[in-house]
Structure 1
Amino acid sequence: MRIVKMKLSDLKPADYNPRIELKPGMPEFEKLSRSIEEFGFIDPPIFNERTGNLIGGHQRVAVASYLGSYDEIEVSVVDLPLKKEKTLNVALNKISGRWDEEKLAILLKDIDSDVTLTGFDDDEVDNLIAAYDYKEDIEKPIVEDDFDVNQFVEDHPEPKTKLGQLWKLGDHYLLCGDATKSEDIDKLLQGKKADLVVTDPPYNVAVSSDSQELQESGRGKIMNDNMSDSDFDDFLTAVFNNYSASMNPSAAIYVFHGSSYQREFENAMNAAGIVVRSQCIWVKNNATFGWSQYRWQHEPVFYAFKKGAAPAWYGDRKQSTVWQDDLLEDLPATVWRVNRDDTTKYYHPTQKPLSLIAIPVRNSSKRNDVVLDLFGGSGSTLMTCDQLERVCFTLELDQIFCDVIIERWEQATGNKAELIS
């Protein structure tokens, strides 16, 4: 390091610099202006001769250029590679001033050395990057893949997947197994814990698919969806005990459920140490077929977490009680208005739009987090996680729907699933 005189015009600001640009009239600008006029440059800016970038002193140089009082100033010259330059830039800027948090997050993601050298601790860095990633997630459109489940089932009457098989689908895992058996969940998770659970268990109402073709194929109903009340209670107890044992302390769990058995769901969750924080509502664009006086056009979703813990939250905190279509971008609420596509194409009886599953995935997980779903169905959770860069661990009992999940993912990605065991 050496001190030399350089022209202000030769001090090129780093384009990645995460500080807010100061402008005349801003309090910080006026303070710096008065300081420079009174004392000059007591603390020289830092210039990297290897890259030609100004590392520290961006705001002072900008103010001095505006004042026009200096042609040359003393600078501290260093010779650093770009990565170390960026780390030093953040460390110098950490002390005072306001951040452009988006630029700061991008810069911190680019620094692969010890981030504590920047003056930020790991939690600060994680929070900044998570907030930036959430903004990117919201801006990223979720693409409905329109996979033809009905045609696939018709063309493949005999399932390829065998009970107990574990498949790897890119970063994701699928096990053909039973959600009530802890040994199956252990085999699926391979020692990992879930950062988020999104689940759509059977509602015990013998719900049927809207697809006539699927009904005729014999695949129009959900397995384990027509039990006695006692058996259903035991089923839910086993399922939520397994979920509770598989969740990180900060994991949230979103549970789609039928209103008719809402009490049974909540009782089983409470018994497993999972407490409901609120109930969200998915408002569908069309009602289900039926002979009830009031036809169902909504579906409730419990938002819950482990007792005594605080669930991780990455979404915007400007909450509203209604989640309109345009609010999917930034306003979490308790009513979700997400259109359901042509129901004749929803071949799994409770198939959900990917844009619906994206709501809890965006709000309650970050990129590379583990998302667990023990009722894989037609693969909506896995497909949503694939688009949002989460890692999905999913389980499905019905062998043909394991085939559906594999084929759906392969068609969407162009990759091949790998049989692990």
Structure 2
Amino acid sequence: MTTPPVQAPRWIAYMPLQALTPATRNPKLHELPLIKASIREHGFVDPVLIDERTGRSIAGHGRHEALVEMYADGEPVPDGVLLDDDGSWLLPVTRGWSSRTDAEADALIIKLNRITAQADWDRRMLAGMLEDLVTADASLFDSLAYTDDEMETLLRAAPAEAFGEEPALALTPDLGDDTSFNDDDNEEGPRLVRCPTCGDQFTPRRS
């Protein structure tokens, strides 16, 4: 006896870029330059989510908007996006989910963004990954768009007990053997971040 194939509750389909209709309300703002840069670097890797009841998108509005602008600007077809016979772009979307009411659709739009924003980081692990990135490929580190101040805040916020007797962060200029440096006297000078994971120093941003 042949077992009937299982009907997947969610599946990936490709639909025309211009045929995708955004939700009527989406309060999340988007860093479109960063989204477009990520798509150019890594391809389109996170499909848009469609609400089958309304036919509108529930998640991925920023990624969709970024693709619309990239298409209008005549950019090459990103990896993960297909080119239709008429030259239009086909983007992957997740199908199979249906809201029960407009209120549920609104709630999910907020929830999918809020859950991600509310979650914290394992700062010790993140610091190690960032140091590995800046050492292995500075351009990939720069694509994360961390500022010096963000790096300082991130590492200073790491729990002290996670690093034993070592300080969570040490910021020093590149002054060789001169130990008389005062942060207040050289705010414009180069700064190095000491990774709490391994103790190595590195410049947070590279031009």
Which category of TM-score, normalised to the shorter sequence, fits these structures?
0.3 to 0.5
The structure number with the bigger radius of gyration is: 1
TM-score computed with the length of structure 2 as normaliser: 0.41
TM-score computed with the length of structure 1 as normaliser: 0.21
